[in-house]
Amino acid sequence: MSASAAVVALAEWIDGGGGLAHRRVAIDAGHTPATVRRAVGSGVVRVVRRSWLVRPAADPLLLTAAAAGGRVTCVSLARRRGWWMPDGIDPALHLHVRPGAASPGLGPEWPGTVHWTRSLITEPVGTLLASAEDALAHIAVCLPREQALVVWESAARLESLAPEMLRRLRWTTRAARELAEEVTGLADSGLETMVFAPLRRTGVHVVQQARVAGRFVDGLIGDRLVVQVDGFAHHATSAQRSADIAHDAQLRLRGYTVLRFSYRQVVHERAQVERTIRRAIAQGLHRAP
């Protein structure tokens, strides 16, 4: 392969990885140091923080992380990986930087947050995203407990993080240890966590994702009280809504009480939602006749 073709191949390889690549990773992938030097010298790629090879189409979020010598973490990683996020969380970037590392050089006016902590999970060279576990550790101290639990539940389900494994990790903060003890990994959405977690803390036994009358329900309290939580975009079609109504009817014919709450109710009228459930329990609607 000619020198110019090798430079083109390097540029295409970097583009395929999001527009950034660590020099060591590029060399391990078969691109020679001479090719890297030619690509930099010709302006095909530029170097950031001595080790990062950057192309024009680089992901801005990852570029900021590379320039700071850190990794995307906390709520920023949660958004990127599609974890369920409560409304109103500041969109500013959160970075994970190891203690003792060189200054990120972001300046006093930078609006984001830097988490100076040792890694719980060692990531390979060339990784610009923190591990899920490290992101959860940062979320534990960045968000109020209830919001943090919502994100932890979503991460546990989407990342296949077993609650037992999370409890065995050596968390460095009390907040993270308490969340690890509380997480169940059963919630389909953060809305379920917002409804059921406060009930559990006061001694109400809730079985999530229980199979009743041929379908899974969001929560079963006692023997006969079913709680369903509809997400913002959930059950948007007529067919889905009809299926829900039909299942609710089957549950009632079998002696269950069904309480169904909307996204708006859970997010904006949560106290009323909790009162409604507690009143149903006070009436004994959770007990079999």
Q: Write out pLDDT tens, residues 129-144.
A: 999 999 999 999 999 9
**Secondary structure of the chain in the HEC alphabet?**
CCHHHHHHHHHHHHHHCCCEEEHHHHHHCCCCHHHHHHHHHCCCCEEECCCEEECCCCCHHHHHHHHHCCEECHHHHHHHHCCCCCCCCCCCCEEEECCCCCCCCCCCCCCCEEEECCCCCCCCCCCCECCHHHHHHHHHHHCCHHHHHHHHHHHHHHCCCCHHHHHHCCCCCHHHHHHHHHCCCCCCCHHHHHHHHHHHHCCCCEEEEEEECCEEEEEEECCCEEEEECCCCCCCCHHHHHHHHHHHHHHHHCCCEEEEECHHHHHHCHHHHHHHHHHHHHCCCCCCC
Specify the pLDDT at position 86: 84
Of 34-48, 107-121, 131-145, 171-185, give the lowest mean pLDDT range: 107-121
Q: Using one digit for the tens of pLDDT, what is the confidence trace for 147-182?
A: 999 999 999 999 999 999 999 999 999 999 999 999
Whether pLDDT at 232 is above 70: no
Of 62-66, 237-241, 268-272, give the lowest mean pLDDT range: 237-241
Whether pLDDT at 70 is above 70: yes
Average pLDDT for the chain: 91
Q: Using one digit for the tens of pLDDT, what is the confidence trace for 81-90?
A: 999 888 889 9
pLDDT level of residue 233 (50, 70, 90 thresholds): low
Average pLDDT over residues 233-243: 67
Whether pLDDT at 35 is above 60: yes
pLDDT level of residue 237 (50, 70, 90 thresholds): low
Whether pLDDT at 205 is above 70: yes
Whether pLDDT at 193 is above 70: yes
Whether pLDDT at 240 is above 80: no
What span, in angstroms and rounded, lies between the C-alpha atoms of 46 and 64? Answer: 14
Average pLDDT over residues 26-46: 95
Whether pLDDT at 220 is above 80: yes
Specify the pLDDT at position 164: 95
Of 71-85, 95-109, 230-244, 246-260, give the lowest mean pLDDT range: 230-244
pTM: 0.81
Specify the pLDDT at position 8: 94
